[in-house]
């Protein structure tokens, strides 16, 4: 394939109508030869150049545009799996074909027909990855379904190839067949083709009938499977919710008890503090009264009168009692304060257990499945893909109203 690099350069840069038409036709002829197909797909810039021409708008380029689609058609026709996979994976190619499917203007008619055939060819004999990728490609199935709905004999070839393309894509994974079952308008348009009186193409009707049966078979089976999975998930959610509600009720009961205990402890603390204040005041008074008596004992050379000694001893005794009482109440005060601190910490821990582990401010409200952890608020649950508690991937989220 000498001179292909020059062709690539023209496809990538030229805006000359004749040059593009001639170059694309050359690529189209090369694509008819089996041994050239994979080389063309692997040639850097060639498929991208064809996509560039395919996307040129206006009547001026309609021949070049049609020939570019035709070149893709021939490269994909009876190509090996590597060829089909290479075309599918080429950035912009499938999107370009889908874009042409959506064009309704008359100058796009032939390009539309060839685009449907090209998609049909890529899907034929391709591996499951390509078929699944075609099904999931944004707009492709919708474009083919739209083609199925076209009225009139002038669209007969397009409808035929659209049925063929969907039929081949449906030969892929069960996931694809099940997905087609749910696709808007597909089944109704297939049924319209099967029941159409004006459609003389019996092969298309037969293909449509087989496609309908295949999609329905997998679709109903998938629906039953989905329903079973949903029932299991619902049972799991219900069980997890019951567990969460039980835990929440227990926590609330503990909170009520602790708040009651805290109130009682605070009352006791207040009483002890008042008694200590009284004791401290009495102690200060006794200490003040005792000082003159002790001074008198030291200054008198003769023994003091009996009444004075007696009074001093009594004051000392009262002082000792007050000091002892104060020590006891100080110990009680420390004990009550510790009890208060313990209860306060327990209450904080219970409140933390209800607070979102991400923002640490809002109440938890979203249950993660399948792990069953309730650790996030509504806003934070949208920001995580894994459970913050166990790091399991989140499959589903359930809002819990407590």
Listed residue (366, 365, 370, 371) closest to 233, CA to CA: 370
The pLDDT value given to residue 33:
92
370 preceded by a cis bond (ω within 30 of 0): yes
Question: Does residue 286 contact residue 311 with C-beta atoms inside 8 Å?
Answer: no
Centre a 10 Å sphere on the Cβ of residue 271 and count the other Cβ atoms it contains.
Answer: 12
17 and 60 in contact (C-beta within 8 Å)? yes
CA distance 151 to 238: 51
Residue 200 has pLDDT above 70, yes or no: no
Query: Taking the C-alpha atoms of 262, 267, 272 and 276 in order, what is their torsion angle to the nearest 10 degrees?
Result: 120
**Predicted local confidence at residue 377, as pLDDT:** 93
Enter the pTM of the model.
Answer: 0.53
Task: Give the position of tokens 């008074």.
Answer: 285
Both tokens assigned to 226: 């989905």
Q: What is the C-alpha to C-alpha distance for residues 181 and 215, in angstroms, rounded to an integer? A: 6
How high is the pLDDT of residue 289?
A: 57
pLDDT value, residue 300: 45
The two three-digit tokens of residue 163, written as one number: 């049925």
Give the separation between CA 373 and CA 295, rounded to whole angstroms: 76
Sequence-distant (6+) residues with CB within 8 A of 141 are: 134, 135, 166, 169, 180, 183, 186
Tell the residue number behind the tokens 């099904």, with chain if given: 135
- Taking the C-alpha atoms of residue 388 and residue 358, their distance in angstroms, rounded to an integer, is 8
Please give the Cα distance from 360 to 379 (Å, whole number). Answer: 12
Highest average pLDDT, of 222-226, 228-232, 377-381, comes from 377-381
Contact indicator for 209, 172 with CB cutoff of 8 Å: no
Asked if 129 and 85 count as a contact pair (C-beta separation under 8 A), the reply is yes
Residue 97 is predicted with a pLDDT of 92
Q: How far apart are CA 178 and CA 370, in angstroms?
A: 24
- Is the predicted pLDDT of residue 298 greater than 50, yes or no? no
Over range 337-342, report the average pLDDT: 70
For residue 296, what pLDDT band results from cuts at 50, 70 and 90?
A: very low
**In terms of pLDDT, which residue wins out, 171 or 276?**
171
**Hunting for tokens 């003091």 — which residue is that?**
304
Catalogue the E-assigned strands of 256-318. Answer: none
Q: Are 92 and 80 in contact (CB under 8 A)?
A: no
User: Which among 165, 74, 146, 66 has a CA at the least distance from the CA of 112?
Assistant: 66
Highest mean pLDDT: which range of 71-80, 153-162, 235-244, 342-351: 71-80
Ranking 214-223, 227-236, 261-270 by mean pLDDT, the lowest is: 214-223
Question: What band does 167 get if pLDDT is binned at 50, 70 and 90?
Answer: confident
For the domain with range 4-200, which CATH number is right: 2.60.120.260, 1.10.3720.10, 3.90.1150.10, 1.25.10.10? Answer: 1.25.10.10
Q: How far is C-alpha 238 from the chain's CA centre? A: 22
Which residues have a Cβ under 8 Å from the Cβ of 194 and sit 6 or more positions away? 205, 208, 209, 212
Rounded to a whole number of angstroms, the CA Rg of the chain reads 44
* Alpha helices (H) in 182-305, listed in sequence order: 186-195, 202-299
Percent of the chain with pLDDT over 70: 75
Of residues 256 and 386, more confidence is placed in: 386
Q: How far is CA 206 from the centre of its chain?
A: 42
Average pLDDT over residues 284-293: 58
Residue 59 φ/ψ, nearest 5 degrees: -65, -30
Helices (H), 46-185: 46-54, 62-76, 81-89, 93-101, 109-123, 128-136, 140-148, 156-169, 174-181
355-402 CATH fold: Herpes Virus-1 (3.30.40)
């Amino acid at each position: 394939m000498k001179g292909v690099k020059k062709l690539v350069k023209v496809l990538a840069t030229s805006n000359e109508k004749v040059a593009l038409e001639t170059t694309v036709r050359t690529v189209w002829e090369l694509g008819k030869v089996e041994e050239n197909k994979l080389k063309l797909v692997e040639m850097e810039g060639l498929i991208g150049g064809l996509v560039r021409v395919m996307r040129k708008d206006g009547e001026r380029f309609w021949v070049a545009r049609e020939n570019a689609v035709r070149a893709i058609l021939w490269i994909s026709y009876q190509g090996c799996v590597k060829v089909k996979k290479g075309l599918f994976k080429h950035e912009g190619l499938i999107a370009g074909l889908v874009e042409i499917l959506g064009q309704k203007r008359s100058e796009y008619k032939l390009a539309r027909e060839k685009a449907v055939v090209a998609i049909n060819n890529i899907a034929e004999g391709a591996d499951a990855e390509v078929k699944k990728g075609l099904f999931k490609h944004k707009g492709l199935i919708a474009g083919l379904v739209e083609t199925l709905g076209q009225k009139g004999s002038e669209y007969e070839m397009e409808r035929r190839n659209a049925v063929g393309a969907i039929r081949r894509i449906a030969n892929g994974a069960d996931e694809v067949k099940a997905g087609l079952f749910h696709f808007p308008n597909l089944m109704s348009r297939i049924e319209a083709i099967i029941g159409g009186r004006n459609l003389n193409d019996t092969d298309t009707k037969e293909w449509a009938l087989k496609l309908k049966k295949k999609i329905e078979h997998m679709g109903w089976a998938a629906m039953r499977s989905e329903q079973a999975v949903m029932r299991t998930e619902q049972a799991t959610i219900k069980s997890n919710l019951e567990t969460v509600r039980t835990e929440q009720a227990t926590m609330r009961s503990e909170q009520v008890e602790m708040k009651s205990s805290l109130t009682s402890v605070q009352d006791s603390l207040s009483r002890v503090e008042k008694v200590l204040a009284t004791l401290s005041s009495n102690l200060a008074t006794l200490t003040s009264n005792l000082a003159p008596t002790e001074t008198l004992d030291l200054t008198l050379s003769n023994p003091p009168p009996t009444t004075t000694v007696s009074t001093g001893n009594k004051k000392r005794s009262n002082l000792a009692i007050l000091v002892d009482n104060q020590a006891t109440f100080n110990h009680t005060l420390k004990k009550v304060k510790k009890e208060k601190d313990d209860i306060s910490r327990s209450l904080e821990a219970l409140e933390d257990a209800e607070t979102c582990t991400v923002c640490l401010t809002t109440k938890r409200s979203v249950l993660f499945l399948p792990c069953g952890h309730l650790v996030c608020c509504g806003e934070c649950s949208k920001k995580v893909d894994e459970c913050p508690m166990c790091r399991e991937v989140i499959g589903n989220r359930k809002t819990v109203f407590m």
